[in-house]
Structure 1
Amino acid sequence: MSKVLFKLDPNPTFDALVAIPMHGGGTADVKFTFKHRSKTELEEFLSTNKDMDDLTLVKSIATGWELEDEFSDENIQELLNNYIGAGSAIYVKYLEELYQAKRLN
Structure 2
Amino acid sequence: MAKFKLIQNPTFKADVMIPRVGGDPMKVPFEFKYLDRTELAALYADWEDRHKALGLKIEDMDLKEFTAAQIDIQVGQIKSVVVGWGFDEKLTDENIRILVSSIASTPSAVLAAYSEAFSQARLGNS
Give TM-score, length-normalised by structure 1.
0.88
Max Rg structure: 2
What secondary structure is seen at the aligned counterpart in 2 of 1:95? helix
Q: Structure 2: which amino acid aligns with 1:40?
A: T
Counterpart-to-counterpart distance in 2, 1:65 and 1:72? 11
Q: Does 1:46 align with 2:66?
A: no
In the TM superposition, structure 1's runs of 4+ consecutive aligned residues that sit over 6 Å from their partners are none
Distance change >3 Å, CA 66–CA 42, structure 1 → 2? same
Q: Does 1:18 align with 2:20?
A: no
Counterpart-to-counterpart distance in 2, 1:9 and 1:59? 23
**Identity of matched residues, %:** 35
What secondary structure is seen at the aligned counterpart in 1 of 2:13? strand
Residue 28 of structure 1 corresponds to 26
Give TM-score, length-normalised by structure 2.
0.75
Residues paired across the two proteins, number = 103
- The CA RMSD over aligned residues, in Å, is 1.6
Unaligned residue ranges in structure 2 (runs of 5+): 52-72
Residue 85 of structure 1 corresponds to 105
Q: Which is helix-richer, 1 or 2?
A: 2
